[in-house]
Amino acid sequence: MNKATRKTIIAGNWKMNKTPDEAKALISEMAPLVKDADCDVIACVPFVDLAVAQQAAEGSNIKIGAENCHWEVSGAYTGEISATMLKAMGIEYVIIGHSERRQYFGETDVTVNKRVRAALDAGLTVILCVGELKEEREQGITAELCRMQTKVALQGVTAEEMSRIVIAYEPVWAIGTGLTATADQADEVCGIIRDVIAELYSTEVAEATTIQYGGSMNDANAEELLSKVNVDGGLIGGASLVAEKFAKIVEFASK
């Protein structure tokens, strides 16, 4: 398997944006624009938007995902949502380990791993985010950092379960900043992550795993980023909130 045969996935991360009515409007606007996509198209939306987004996406090729899940099935965890709850409402995808969760909500590699395990146990597909801080890139430890984040997050994940793991390489310095990794930087780190998967599992598993780039990807830079051999799609924040921009990225990924 290679880039041509791996699944290309363009996923939006809406973060804490859009009320249910706005979510319905945005999905309805996107659906006709991405209907001819030759890649998977996902919108990961706030918990309160999931149901309405699912309804709005019905009959289209847009799949709806969540932005996080807890590691327990149920219990005294006020404010949290379990992977089992997401699965019960027909959700297929969940983002785990986004840098904003790590930065602002105390998420660690260990809790990311627990959430990954729970999501897989519930039958979800995980979009696992890894990536270095600006200082870590400057210190020259990007590779070590991404290797370690990937390894810890995947502890206890079997080779079979890797078919339900998508990895998003998201350099933290590029998220929401307008700064983008160069296509070569994105390709290099996605390749390093693919090597880690080969070490942990096998070349076959590594070659079959979708590895996205995320970090200020937009309609102006997506074509170059997506042309790289190790970049199998994108996790898109800001540009996923604008239907035409998101659709344009989907169009580049479909080539």
Q: Which residues are catalytic?
A: 98, 170
Q: Between 205 and 251, whose beta carbon lies closer to ligand PEP?
A: 251
CB of 64 to ligand PEP, least distance (A): 16
CB-CB contact of 89 with 109 (8 Å): no
The structure tokens 């990311």 sit at 112
Q: Which residue from 216, 233, 245, 246 is in contact with ligand PEP, where contact means CB under 6 A?
A: 216
Q: Using CB under 6 A, which residues numbered 166 to 185 contact ligand PEP?
A: 170, 175-176
| 205 or 247: CB nearest ligand PEP | 247
**The one segment of 31-39, 133-141, 195-203, 235-243 that binds ligand PEP by CB under 6 A:** 235-243
Report the alpha-carbon distance of residue 208 to residue 6 in Å, rounded. 6
Residue 255 burial (CB count, 10 A) = 10
> Would you say 120 or 172 has its CB closer to ligand PEP?
172
- Footprint on residues 1-60 left by ligand PEP (CB under 6 A): 13, 15
Q: Which H or E run contains 251? A: helix 243-253
State whether residue 128 is helix, strand or coil: strand
Dihedral over Cα of 161, 47, 148, 139: its sign: positive
Q: How far is the CB of 168 from ligand PEP (least distance, A)?
A: 7
Helix (H) or strand (E) holding 115: helix 109-121
For ligand PEP, the closer of residues 52 and 241 by Cβ is 241
Paired sense of beta strands 165-169 and 125-130, if any: parallel
Compose the 196-215 pattern: x for residues touching ligand PEP by CB under 6 A, - for all others. ------------------xx
Closest CA to 218 of 161, 180, 162: 180
Count of residues in contact with ligand PEP, rule CB under 6 A: 14
Extended strands (E) in 134-202 = 165-169
Binding site for ligand PEP (CB under 6 A): 13, 15, 170, 175-176, 214-217, 235-239
